[in-house]
Copies of this chain bind each other. A is one copy, B any other.
Amino acid sequence: MLKLIKKSGEKTGLSPGSLVLTDKKPNIPVIVRQTVYHAAHLQTQVLAPDYDWSGVRGNSHIIWLQLSGIHDFDWLEKLGAAFQLDRLVLEDIANTAHRPKSENFGEYLYFVGKLIDWDRGEKEISSEQISLVLGRDFVLSFTERERDIFDNIHKRLQNEDGRLRKSGADYLFYTLIDLLVDRYFNALEKLGDDIEQVEAAMMSDGDQASVRHIHHLKRDLLFFHRSVWPLRDAIISLQRLDTPLIDKKTTPYLRDVNDHVVQIIDTVETFRDLTSSLFETFLSLSGNRMNEVIKVLTIISTIFIPLTFLVGVYGMNFHFMPELGWQSGYFAVWGVMILLASAMLIYFKRKKWL
């Protein structure tokens, strides 16, 4: 289940720019992978902690540096120094409870978003924070753990004639955001399937577990809602930035990503309306079913309670009860009871209770 709030830890009162872990320090290996490429060259390597960038930057290469494991503050500090990042940015990268946003720092752009995905293995929707930094000739990506989502990009980079290989760092930056946004559709599809399933079950039969199921759907959609609206603001502000870091040719692609985000928002809001309607319908159907049960109770009771009273009357032990001595008294009572029951059945029929 997605956590809706992350604890901010013991940060209160520290000076700004202090690196503080939002979550408990996880036991995950930290991997720093660097890909250096230009049209004619491509090389990927895992960096050692004492790696030195002198001689790498300043060429016409594009550097893509993937840090998997933002809880390694040494690496964060080192990268912050090597690429001249502001301390407030480092703090934001380490704080996994951040809202999606993008900010222009002049020499570089900072983008942070949520990577929401449907984890086929664990059968649940997972969420992770991803931070991107775009410089003139580099892109830094920060994720909480090693992920296979970037494999596809490595594959596309190997294509020497691909647009990705031939374009600048801003196009790589766009591609990473596009990937992030595309993943939302996976999770949304899963939610859509769940909603359809609940709806079908409800329409046919009315599974009792659905209240909890609907509550979980609402919760997940609330999480989506909360992640995707600020994501849109972040991407719109990227589009509107007046910065030399993003080439004019990349702008239509950002608009395309924005279209996708709007489509996601649209779907999320539709799903929220739909689950609300499902919930109300569920309540109403379950009320209907209850009413049917109570009707049966009422019919059985109202028919038999007077009859039981009647047979009770003739079960009394008074010495003087004239009817008891009648030859056909017993059958007369049966007759009266059948008449009574029939009258009540007809009454119920008229009232449409049967």
Contact = CB atoms under 8 A, between A and B. Distances in A.
Nearest to A181: B12
A188 B222 CA distance: 18
A28 interface: no
A123 interface: no
A142 B190 CA distance: 30
A315 to B, nearest CB: 4
Contact of A313 (B179, B267, B311): B311
Nearest to A205: B352
A284 interface: yes
A185 B13 contact: no
B298 A13 contact: no
B211 A285 contact: yes
Most chain B CB within 10 A, of A266, A270, A316, is at: A316
Nearest to A97: B263
Interface in A269-308: 270-271, 273-274, 277-291, 293-298, 300-302, 304-308
A290 B282 contact: no
A145 interface: no
A291 B284 contact: no
A146 interface: no
Contacts of A188: 5
Contacts of A152: 12-13
B319 A316 contact: no
A343 interface: no
Contacts of A160: none
B5 A162 contact: no
Interface stretch (A37-45, A53-61, A132-140, A321-329): A321-329
Contacts of A317: 314-317, 321, 324
A179 to B, nearest CB: 6
A294 B294 contact: yes
Nearest to A344: B300
Contacts of A164: 15
Interface in A245-284: 252-253, 256, 259, 262-263, 266-267, 270-271, 273-274, 277-284
A172 B219 CA distance: 40
Given A226-B266, A304-B305, A101 B318 contact: no
A234 to B, nearest CB: 12
A218 interface: yes
A71 B235 CA distance: 31
A277 B16 CA distance: 36
10 smallest beta-carbon distances between A and B, as pairs: A13-B152, A311-B312, A314-B316, A297-B298, A318-B330, A315-B315, A12-B182, A5-B192, A300-B302, A215-B281
